Amino acid sequence: MTTTDDYATYIASLPKVLAGAAALYRDARGRVLLVEPNYREGWALPGGTIESDLGESPRTAARRESAEEIGLDLPLGRLLAVDWTLGEGRPPLVAYLYDGGVLDAAQLASIRLQEEELLSWRLVEPAELTAYLPGSLGRRTLEAYRVLESGEGAAELENGSRPVPS
């Protein structure tokens, strides 16, 4: 077996990790834009899977998914949070969350949902985020909103919460 074959075998043996990216959009009142998927219960942020086989970065994926899902192709702001999330029945997920910015009335009026995946959208007060977003997604979004409000650096999260230093 050649060194190239050994390396390929080694890479194939490594644990698999999923990667996703989303954007946190707000209105002038600070409410967060959520979308309602038709393929599962609950709400979500505009975003989705990073297409690494196409060489896509997390930032590029968040922007592409936003353009596809809500029809807004806008430059994204800074990284707000990175979350390592364990899941039952699936590999771990690394989720990147970016600042989508504040949408004005014209941008909100121009939202066009991707009908193949989404039923509706709404603006939600930050205090209500965990009521709409399940589990670690709700905690991740709330932490990202806190980062935005405080001006601090991006949050490192595990299952949507800040890890206890070891």
Give residue 29's pLDDT. 98
Burial label, 141 (beta-carbon count in 10 A; 0-12, 13-18, 19+)? buried
Q: Report how far residue 61's alpha carbon sits from residue 130's, in angstroms, rounded to the nearest whole number.
A: 24
Given a cut of 60, whether residue 1 has pLDDT beyond it is no
- The model's confidence at residue 132, banded by pLDDT at 50, 70 and 90, is very high
For the chain, domain boundaries: 15-158
Could you tell me the two tokens for 138? 């709700």
Given a cut of 90, whether residue 108 has pLDDT beyond it is yes
Given a cut of 90, whether residue 3 has pLDDT beyond it is no
Give residue 2's pLDDT. 62
Could you tell me the two tokens for 26? 């707000």
Give every CB contact of residue 24 below 8 A, 6+ residues apart in sequence: 32, 45, 80, 97, 98, 99, 100, 141, 144, 145, 148
Average pLDDT estimate for 27-53? 95
Fold of 15-158: Nucleoside Triphosphate Pyrophosphohydrolase (3.90.79)
pLDDT (tens digit per residue) in 68-100:
999 999 999 999 999 999 987 889 999 999 999
Average pLDDT estimate for 95-121? 97
Burial label, 19 (beta-carbon count in 10 A; 0-12, 13-18, 19+)? middle
- The residue among 128 and 13 whose pLDDT is bigger is 128
Percentage above 70 pLDDT, the chain: 99
Provide the mean pLDDT of the chain.
Answer: 94
Give residue 162's pLDDT. 95
Give residue 11's pLDDT. 79
Given a cut of 80, whether residue 4 has pLDDT beyond it is no
Give residue 67's pLDDT. 98
Give residue 74's pLDDT. 97
Question: Dihedral of CA 122/123/125/126: which sign?
Answer: positive
